[in-house]
């Protein structure tokens, strides 16, 4: 049983807890505004869609594909990717202006978008925030060699830096 001396402390604690819960509930509710201001609220943390500096038609085509973890292996990996042109990875043109590629751990390719960012980086990924968890950053692209890295840490460790080397046109 609670003594009368401690009853006041328990009651004050209960009232403080109830007020905290009430205030937390009020802050999560959106009540209609009574002000005459009609300025739209801008959602913070989500940048507006920015176009990439690389066009999707620049990366559509047949590519030799290999990957590396250690940056010192880049030159050797580019040669290995070039040798894969016997069985090229095909990046197709999407119906909505994107490119058709695989996402990490997905067996079926789908249309992805090329997206830009305020920092000047380019990404390939599904519609959504930039960079999204399923996006891959375009680390470098010179028209002949495309190097990408997945944003998702697990996928980045598994796949490393993906090196795409453009295959020669078919004879």
Give yes or no for residue 116 having a pLDDT over 80: yes
pLDDT for the residue numbered 35: 42
In a domain, 45, yes or no: no
Do residues 86 and 25 both lie within one domain? no
Res 49: pLDDT: 80
**In this structure, is residue 18 part of a structural domain?**
yes
Same-domain check for residues 13 and 74? no
Asked if residue 99 belongs to a domain, the reply is: yes
- Domain hosting 103: range is 51-166
The torsion defined by the Cα of 72, 76, 81 and 85, in degrees rounded to 10, comes to: 170
Do 89 and 26 share a domain, yes or no? no
Of the listed ranges 41-55, 129-143, 148-162, the least confidently predicted one is 41-55
Q: Mark whether 58 and 107 lie in a shared domain.
A: yes
77 lies in the same domain as 139: yes
Per DSSP, helices labelled H in the chain are: 4-28, 74-83, 153-159
Asked if residue 55 and residue 25 are part of one domain, the reply reads no
Residue 41 lies in a domain: no
Q: Is residue 66 part of a domain?
A: yes
In a domain, 78, yes or no: yes
Beta strands in 37-121, from DSSP E residues, in sequence order:
50-51, 61-68, 89-93, 99-101, 110-116
Would the pLDDT of 104 be above 70? yes
pLDDT of residue 36: 45
Same domain, 91 and 22: no
40: in domain: no
As a whole number, mean pLDDT of residues 72-88 equals 97
Tally of domains in the chain = 2
Q: Taking 90 as the threshold, does the pLDDT of residue 38 lie above it?
A: no
Residue 14 above 90 pLDDT?
no
Q: What's the confidence (pLDDT) of residue 146?
A: 98
Alpha carbon of residue 12 to chain centroid: 48
- Are 10 and 2 in contact by the 8 Å Cβ rule? The answer is yes
More confident residue, 31 or 143: 143
- Closest by CA to 51, choosing from 118, 106, 5, is 118
């Amino acid at each position: 049983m609670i003594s009368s001396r401690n009853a006041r402390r328990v009651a004050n604690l209960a009232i403080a807890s109830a007020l905290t819960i009430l205030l937390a509930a009020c802050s999560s509710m959106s009540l209609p505004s009574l002000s005459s201001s009609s300025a739209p609220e801008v959602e913070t943390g989500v940048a507006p869609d920015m176009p990439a500096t690389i066009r999707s038609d620049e990366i559509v085509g047949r590519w030799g594909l290999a990957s590396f973890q250690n940056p010192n292996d880049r030159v050797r990996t580019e040669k290995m990717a070039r040798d894969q042109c016997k069985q090229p990875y095909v990046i197709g043109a999407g119906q909505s202006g994107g490119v058709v590629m695989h996402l990490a751990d997905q067996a079926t390719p789908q249309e992805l978008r090329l997206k830009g960012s305020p920092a000047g980086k380019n990404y390939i990924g599904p519609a959504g925030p930039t960079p999204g968890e399923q996006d891959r950053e375009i680390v470098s692209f010179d028209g002949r060699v495309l190097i990408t890295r997945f944003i998702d840490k697990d996928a980045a460790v598994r796949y490393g830096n993906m090196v795409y080397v453009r295959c020669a046109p078919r004879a």
